[in-house]
């Protein structure tokens, strides 16, 4: 939605004109400022502004502040009819596969009654880029009609009132005390097409099924469990199991009944085993959020969405898992350790603070436990999977690019995981994306650290360890992947090589050229070559940011294909779909095509995407 289309009640209220340093010497009207989560007046003095977002680099902190806000502009406009994107550079290749690039993410952060929400609690807004012929790309975008969306949006007046808090937010313009509408399934985190179904996933509930041709919402998809008994036998769990089972039984009526939490929380990150043509999903129990024991259920489906495998594991630790890995014979869990914050929990129950404030990061250990869970049959004959491998570094795992295992001639098993991870000292539930729930505002400085502290930020890492034939861990190491040390996230590979030894990995990364935004938002795509141990990059350019890259295969080679990524040109309020030649990243002609999303359909930063090739 364009800023000048905002109703008066939605426009941010600032003194007019905003005063910034006079050396900037430019002006732009307040009507051009978008409605983001909530934009405070910069803490500066005297300037007049007049050109839309052409703030010079005299004071980069001011431009950086506004650039960051424009990444989270609410978009209320939907387009059910495909809109052809304008080609502004290059051409769509004749050999580009037919299919659709789906991008999930939040679309709305502010209602019409004074409440704002964290980006993770923003209503799911599904974007679709449709490649049906070799000359054009069409665009569609629709809100996922979740139960929360239908309750909070009035279609007659096209107005919104947030009534659910969401795990990361509080309500400024709504009822706080006694408001138990907490687990707000907004279906905004990831998207998947499998077995003829298009699903939008969230971290704490059932996926929502979407009609691919129209993006209409079909409804909740509850077929993950395949009709299996929820309380089927699980493996593991030893210390104090009886007590914690008793505590869990006491919590269930409160969590399921009062707070309306689903018994099982399906994680938003799934895996596709391309070698077996299987979809892998993982869930945990609702009560795990509050207890020092964790239940994980892994599911494997064939191409028709028929359940083939289901395995449950109980781990005696308090964990928060967002992403995970698999190899040919194992599921791999990096044990992000958390703890209950009683003071925060009291505020969360009362509605004075977000529900997530009841949890804190557990920094008590200097190592990171990694659990190797057997995919098939029984566990290793001599190794107890309940005993984790201790990685010699305190890593909070964010996202996995790939993992694989290799057996050497002596029968030892070598594991390697390529992922993004950060320090426990940087990760903070209350400050993700720089959102301050007390003020409802965004602060980009929280996501950026200068000097030696920048080493705490998300990085690409290679975790390696070897298991001997008798199951003993003989060696273990953590190192920067290809020695690439710039802040990075969203690692991905050619999906046809998932679970196999990969030679290439792609990720969003930062050039670090802006003093005020040295690490996030990302402004480059990096391609890491594990054969030559090199890194090559493509840069979006000045005041242009990028989201998650997605690989589109076109041939048999691992880097034979294209990389799709959305570019957010905040300085001119535009979104572009970029098509990069994977083999040419790092060269001057890596850009194959740039397609412009119409300004009135400009959308906020997305989370995770999926390439669905046409049958």
C-alpha span between 114 and 603 (Å, rounded): 21
CB 69 within 8 A of CB 34: yes
For residue 275, give the nearest of 492, 493, 505, 497 by alpha carbon: 497
HSE (CB half, 13 Å, CA atoms) of 587?
9
Q: DSSP label at 377?
A: S
Q: Is 280 exposed, middle or buried (0-12, 13-18, 19+ CB in 10 A)?
A: buried
Helix H or strand E encompassing 248? helix 241-252
Query: Is 379 flagged in the annotation as binding?
Result: no
Task: Please state the φ and ψ torsions of residue 476, each to the nearest 5 degrees.
Answer: -155, 140
Do residues 122 and 188 touch, judged by C-beta distance below 8 A? yes
> How far is 452 from 456, CA to CA, in rounded Å?
8
Residue 348 parent element (H or E): helix 342-350
**Are 421 and 401 a contacting pair, CB within 8 Å?**
no
Whether the ω angle into residue 182 lies within 30 degrees of 0, i.e. cis, is: no
* Helix and strand numbers, DSSP H then E, in the chain: 4, 40
DSSP three-state, residue 319: strand
DSSP state, residue 67: H
Other beta carbons within 10 angstroms of residue 257's beta carbon come to: 10
Using the CB atoms, write b or e for 148-173: b if 16+ within 10 Å: bbeebbeeeeebbbbbbbbbbbbbbe
Q: Which two tokens stand for residue 350?
A: 């009362």
Task: State the Rg of the chain over Cα.
Answer: 24
Distance in angstroms (rounded) separating the CA atoms of residues 379 and 262: 30
- CA separation for the pair 395, 462 (Å, rounded): 12
Residue 162 three-state SS: coil
Distances 52 to 27, 32, 223, 603 between C-alpha atoms, Å: 8, 7, 49, 18
SS3 (DSSP) at 337? strand
- Residue 322 assigned as binding residue: yes
Task: Give the pair of three-digit tokens for residue 146.
Answer: 């979740």
CB 37 within 8 A of CB 63: no
Question: Tokens 């008994």, residue?
Answer: 229
Strands of 322-412 (E only): list them.
Answer: 325-326, 330-334, 338-340, 359-361, 368-374, 389-391, 395-407
CB distance 29 to 16 below 8 Å:
no
Place of tokens 């964010």: 398
Farthest-apart Cα atoms in the chain, separation = 74
Tokens of 71: 């990444």
- Residue ranges of the binding site for Fe cation: 322, 399, 608
- Residue ranges of the binding site: 322, 399, 608
């Amino acid at each position: 939605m364009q800023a000048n289309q905002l109703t008066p009640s939605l426009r941010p209220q600032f003194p007019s004109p905003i005063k910034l340093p006079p050396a900037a010497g430019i002006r732009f009207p307040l009507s051009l400022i978008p409605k983001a989560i909530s934009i405070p007046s910069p803490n500066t003095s005297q300037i007049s502004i007049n050109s839309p977002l052409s703030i010079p680099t005299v004071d980069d902190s001011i431009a950086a502040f506004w650039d960051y806000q424009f990444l989270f502009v609410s978009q209320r406009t939907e387009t059910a009819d495909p809109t052809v994107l304008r080609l502004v550079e290059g051409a769509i290749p004749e050999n580009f596969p037919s299919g659709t690039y789906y991008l999930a993410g939040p679309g709305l952060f502010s209602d019409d009654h004074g409440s704002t929400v964290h980006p993770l609690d923003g209503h799911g807004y599904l974007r679709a880029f449709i490649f049906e012929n070799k000359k054009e790309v069409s665009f569609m975008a629709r809100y996922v009609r979740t139960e929360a969306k239908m309750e909070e949006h009035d279609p007659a007046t096209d107005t919104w009132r947030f009534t659910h808090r969401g795990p990361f937010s509080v309500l400024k313009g709504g009822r706080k005390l006694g408001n138990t509408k907490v687990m707000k399934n907004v279906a905004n985190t990831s998207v998947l097409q499998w077995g003829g179904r298009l699903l939008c996933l969230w971290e704490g509930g059932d996926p929502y099924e979407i009609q691919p041709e129209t993006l209409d919402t079909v409804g909740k998809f509850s077929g993950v469990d395949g009709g299996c008994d929820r309380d089927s036998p699980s493996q593991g769990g030893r210390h104090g199991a009886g007590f914690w089972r008793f505590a869990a039984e006491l919590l269930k009526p409160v969590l399921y009944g009062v707070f309306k939490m689903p018994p099982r929380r399906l994680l938003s990150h799934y895996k596709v085993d391309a070698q077996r043509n299987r979809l892998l999903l993982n869930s945990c129990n609702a009560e795990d959020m509050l207890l020092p024991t964790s239940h994980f259920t892994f599911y494997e489906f064939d191409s028709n969405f028929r359940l083939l495998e289901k395995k449950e594991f109980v781990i005696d630790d308090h964990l928060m898992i967002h992403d995970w890995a698999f190899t040919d014979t194992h599921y791999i869990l990096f044990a992000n350790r958390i703890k209950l914050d009683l003071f925060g929990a009291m505020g969360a129950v009362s509605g004075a603070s977000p529900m997530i404030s009841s949890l804190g990061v557990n920094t008590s250990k200097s190592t990171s436990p990694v659990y190797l869970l057997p995919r098939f049959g029984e566990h290793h004959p001599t190794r107890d999977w309940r005993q984790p491998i201790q990685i010699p570094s305190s890593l909070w795992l964010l996202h996995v690019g790939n993992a694989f295992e290799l057996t050497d001639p002596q029968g030892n098993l070598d594991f390697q995981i390529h992922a993004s991870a950060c320090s426990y000292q940087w990760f903070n539930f209350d400050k993700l994306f720089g959102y301050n729930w007390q003020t409802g505002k965004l602060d980009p400085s929280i996501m950026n650290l200068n000097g030696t502290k920048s080493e705490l930020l998300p990085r690409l890492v290679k975790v390696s360890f070897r298991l001997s034939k008798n199951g003993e861990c003989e060696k273990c190491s953590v190192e920067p992947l290809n020695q690439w040390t710039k802040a990075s996230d969203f690692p991905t590979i050619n999906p046809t090589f998932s679970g196999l030894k990969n030679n290439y990995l792609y990720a969003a990364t930062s050039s670090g050229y802006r003093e005020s935004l040295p690490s996030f938002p990302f402004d480059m795509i990096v391609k890491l070559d594990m054969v030559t141990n090199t890194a090559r990059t493509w840069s979006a350019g000045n005041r242009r940011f990028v989201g998650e890259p997605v690989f589109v295969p076109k041939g048999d080679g691992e880097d034979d294909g294209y990389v799709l990524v959305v570019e957010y040109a905040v300085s001119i309020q535009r979104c572009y779909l970029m098509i990069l030649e994977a083999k040419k990243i790092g060269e001057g002609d890596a850009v194959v095509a740039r397609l412009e999303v119409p300004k009135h359909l400009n959308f906020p930063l997305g989370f995770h995407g999926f390439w669905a090739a046409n049958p």
